[in-house]
Structure 1
Amino acid sequence: MELADKSVLALRTAERELKDKKCLVTGAGGFIGGALLKRLRDIGADALGTTIDQTECDKLRSKGHRAAVFNLKNTQDAVPLLEDVEYVFNVAAMFNETEASEAEYFEVNETATLAFAEAAYQAGVKRFVHVSTVGVHGDVMEIPATEESPFNPMDVYHRSKLAGERAILMMARELGEDEMVITVNRPAMVYGPGDMRQLKLFRMIARENFVMIGSGTTLAHFGYIDDQVDSLLLSAVAPRDQVHAEAFNIASGKPITLNDAVRVIAKALDMETPETRLPLGPVLLIARLVEIICKPFGIRPPLSRRRVGFFTHNRAFDLTKAKERMHFEPRVELPQGARTTVEWYRERNLL
């Protein structure tokens, strides 16, 4: 049987296995968590999504979802939410909070995350899928990077996520063969309908004000949202001996240069490929100065070194482990995904 056939079969099996099962999705107010919650509902799972504030919770309820407010830092609040839950997808994290301290990042993404996993274990949860990030590999030191490639986190978010997944995996290795199965899922640059993070890139190209910083030969590896959700479902039901205490890098298709990515997105927008470029050095200096100016006022800087990292950090991943261990096979290449994403943006007048 071909890998694509095995992937389809594995995915359909996952959907059947999760049907009617009680699931909990943290971070359901975000892009990945929200898409996962919708898929679980669509396949008939009894899914509850949590958000950190009431406004996001109300939005989910208005869409017909079961939802509750939950902050990872308040572990005791998880106890009633976890009652009779079999599958937990932990997507919640502190992300892109430039005004937060390093200690706050580690409190949420490591300490609170581990405490939540322990609460899930105590509640009798069957499967715990923790969402980390390929950013733990940072500017990859091997091309393409595997799950065993050196870690190279580039900022506090990635450092704290690495600490969190290490704590989770250490816990997993201490569990018995008939106890909770723990898997770490590392998404790449996820995009697609509903995404607001990559909107800025699409919008700049659409409005002819995109500027390439540096050579544009840096590698990027995108992950379409449907593929990402597929991987989470597969992570939750794959045989224990294939996924327990394991981490998986997840993306779609193959890595491409930023030059090629911009060309593909421009084509999806029916635009000419932008040609304007700026040298890297001066932009990095300006980004650092903007960060220094904004920090005392608690303002999120409009330009930061993390954002400039989009143009400088190679992100290229080998997906062999996910394909072999849980039959994950990406279905959406960037040209198709970009067109679908553009359509979604245009329907909402976002471009």
Structure 2
Amino acid sequence: MADDIFLVTGAAGFVGNALVHHLKSEGIRVRAMVRTEAQAEALRPIVDEVVIADLEAPETLAPAVAGVAGVYHIAAVFRVAAIPEETFRAINADGVRHMIDAAVAAGVPRFIHCSTNGVHSDIDHPPAAEDYPFKPTDIYQVTKLEGEQIAMEAYREGRIGGVALRPTMVYGPGDQRTLKMFRLIAQGRFFYVGKGEALTHWVDVRDVARAFHLAMEATHLNAEAFLIGGKRYMTLAENAVEIAAQLGVSEPSLRLPVGPMMALAHATEIVCKPFGIEPPLFRRRVAFFIKNRAYDISKSRRMLGYEPRQDFAGEVRDIIAAYRASGDLPEPRPAHRAA
């Protein structure tokens, strides 16, 4: 119905904010759930309603879900070394249960849960479909899997309708997490750990937002999981070559050995962790260069009608344009002409 309003949790985050903008562009009324007043202030000019609530405080959730036609549950805590494991579980797992309990109590009919491709971790035999074995390798992936399983249990028991989406490697215009990679390539300082042959599967955050919308509208689907990725997976070296070409710089060529870099990362973590310091080098950052992340998105295409809008080159073009518009990447220097 035209007057229905939908709740987006984690609306201040990268994915949640993209979803908010997508829904508003479709004429859908949105209630944004955030944790702080500063986040609320930034969203008030964009959404119809804002509510401040906390997944770790279940008593704050009732106003968030009251009267909504559906919940897009995006809120989660991502990988930050200084955050204790208990916080990951409190938000990524227990927080899902609290949110579902509140939605069920309020009579909300549909709950779309944001999981992650990380529940599968490294793909030994790519590409992986949704039935690929679970093998999370860090606390983020472990607790995201626990959260997905909590949601699936609620769906199967008929407590609430919904599905879980597993986005692949999310990026897009304005993404601050991939900015470092683009900057290093632009500066000629990017290097590979290993040969650069690991498979990567990026997905534009705008496609992720559309996939969530499709999942909410597909009310005939219940207790299903969907991998949401870009048009195709590529090697990391193919990624870097395309980015370098669009930046107008030489492609990266330096390759460092995996063993010593992983050992250095491990030592750095050991030194930094007792002091709550974010290590400059993580084992998971090294793993980025050597783990395969490649997925079969045919189920999402077939059952959700999902289709990525652009190829990797088009997505990179938009990302670079956004970085340059915001000043995060310098404009290309004009070529000097001979006298």
TM-score bucket (shorter structure): over 0.9
Work out whether residues 32 and 47 of structure 2, in 8 Å CA contact, stay in contact via their aligned partners in 1. Answer: no
Q: Give the equivalent residue in structure 1 for 2:146.
A: 163
Measure the CA separation in 1 of the matches of 2:172 and 2:48: 21
Amino acid at match of 2:125: E
Cα deviation, 1:57-95, whole Å, max 9, x if unaligned, reads 222225566323221111121101111101110000111
Runs of 4 or more off by more than 4 Å in structure 1? Answer: 62-65
Is 1:272 aligned to 2:250, yes or no? yes
Q: Give the equivalent residue in structure 1 for 2:164.
A: 184
Amino acid at match of 1:42: S
- Judged with a 3 Å threshold, the aligned counterparts in structure 2 of structure 1 residues 239 and 182 are, in CA distance, closer, same or farther, namely closer
Measure the CA separation in 2 of the matches of 1:33 and 1:142: 31
Amino acid at match of 1:47: V
After TM superposition, list the pairs within 5 Å mapping 1:10-21 onto structure 2: 19-21=2-4
Q: Secondary structure at the match of 2:145?
A: helix
Is 1:196 aligned to 2:176, yes or no? yes
Q: Give the equivalent residue in structure 2 for 1:336.
A: 314
Cα deviation, 1:216-262, whole Å, max 9, x if unaligned, reads 1100000012211111010101142xx31111010111110001011
Cα deviation, 1:23-80, whole Å, max 9, x if unaligned, reads 1101111111001011111222110112222222222225566323221111121101
Work out whether residues 141 and 149 of structure 1, in 8 Å CA contact, stay in contact via their aligned partners in 2. Answer: no
Q: Give the equivalent residue in structure 1 for 2:88.
A: 105
Amino acid at match of 1:106: R
Query: RMSD of aligned C-alpha atoms?
Result: 1.4
Q: Give the equivalent residue in structure 1 for 2:336.
A: none
- Please give the TM-score of this superposition, normalised by the length of structure 2: 0.93
Q: Report the CA distance between 1:321 and its aligned residue.
A: 0.9
Work out whether residues 202 and 230 of structure 2, in 8 Å CA contact, stay in contact via their aligned partners in 1. Answer: yes
Work out whether residues 140 and 152 of structure 1, in 8 Å CA contact, stay in contact via their aligned partners in 2. Answer: no
Is 1:69 aligned to 2:52, yes or no? yes
After TM superposition, list the pairs within 5 Å mapping 1:1-351 onto structure 2: 19-63=2-46, 66-175=49-158, 180-240=160-220, 243-351=221-329
Work out whether residues 133 and 161 of structure 1, in 8 Å CA contact, stay in contact via their aligned partners in 2. Answer: yes
Amino acid at match of 2:154: M
- Judged with a 3 Å threshold, the aligned counterparts in structure 2 of structure 1 residues 141 and 150 are, in CA distance, closer, same or farther, namely farther
Measure the CA separation in 2 of the matches of 1:228 and 1:103: 28
Q: Give the equivalent residue in structure 2 for 1:14.
A: none
- Judged with a 3 Å threshold, the aligned counterparts in structure 2 of structure 1 residues 118 and 64 are, in CA distance, closer, same or farther, namely closer
Measure the CA separation in 2 of the matches of 1:61 and 1:132: 27
Measure the CA separation in 2 of the matches of 1:261 and 1:199: 14
Ranges in structure 1 where 5+ consecutive residues have no aligned partner: 1-16
Amino acid at match of 2:184: M
Q: Report the CA distance between 1:121 and its aligned residue.
A: 1.4
More deviation, 146-155/60-69:
60-69
Amino acid at match of 1:117: I
Amino acid at match of 1:58: E
Amino acid at match of 2:176: M
Cα deviation, 1:184-236, whole Å, max 9, x if unaligned, reads 01111111112111111111111111011111110000001221111101010
- Judged with a 3 Å threshold, the aligned counterparts in structure 2 of structure 1 residues 305 and 85 are, in CA distance, closer, same or farther, namely same
Work out whether residues 20 and 47 of structure 2, in 8 Å CA contact, stay in contact via their aligned partners in 1. Answer: no
Q: Give the equivalent residue in structure 2 for 1:5.
A: none
Cα deviation, 1:289-330, whole Å, max 9, x if unaligned, reads 111111111111121111112111100000111111111111
The share of aligned pairs that are identical, in percent, is 37
Q: Secondary structure at the match of 1:312?
A: coil
Measure the CA separation in 2 of the matches of 1:318 and 1:211: 28
Measure the CA separation in 2 of the matches of 1:142 and 1:172: 30
More helix by share: 1
Amino acid at match of 1:122: A
Q: Report the CA distance between 1:182 and its aligned residue.
A: 1.6
More deviation, 218-227/53-62:
53-62
